[in-house]
Amino acid sequence: MILFISSQHPEPQSPINERFGRCEWLMKYDSKTGQWTEHQNPGAAQSGGAGVAAAQFVIDHKADAVISGAFGPNAAGAFRAGNIAMKLFGSEVSTVEQAAEYCLQDKLESFK
């Protein structure tokens, strides 16, 4: 499973970032290989359409799920069209690594 998680810094131990479209980093986790990859969010510096740009980046990387604190309506629409699950951190998640673990254990709420 390929997960993307909004992050404050480019490492798995980083604190999560509640904002999807404007987060500085998107951390990719491949559960089959256990490999982490950091990506600068292409939407973070855009004056408009940040969520859509970030969503398209995640879609282009063939993600199965994306985890964040919130999703704007345009990003959510793009993920729905791309059939990518949207998960919410929840109060018990504080790091990117923990978000991935909770997602794989099906302990995160789905964004509706």
Q: What is the mean pLDDT of residues 3-27?
A: 97
Question: Can you give the pTM of this predicted structure?
Answer: 0.95
- 80 three-class SS: helix
Radius of gyration of the chain, Cα coordinates, nearest whole angstrom: 12
In the chain, the domains with their CATH numbers are 2-110 (3.30.420.130)
Phi/psi for 81 (5° steps) reads -65, -35
Q: Which residues pair with 29 in a beta bridge?
A: 3, 36
Spatial distance between the Cα atoms of 96 and 11, rounded to a whole number of angstroms? 8
Two tokens at 46? 């855009």
The strand pair at 35-40 and 2-7 is best described as: unpaired
Question: Band of the pLDDT at 46, cuts 50, 70, 90?
Answer: confident
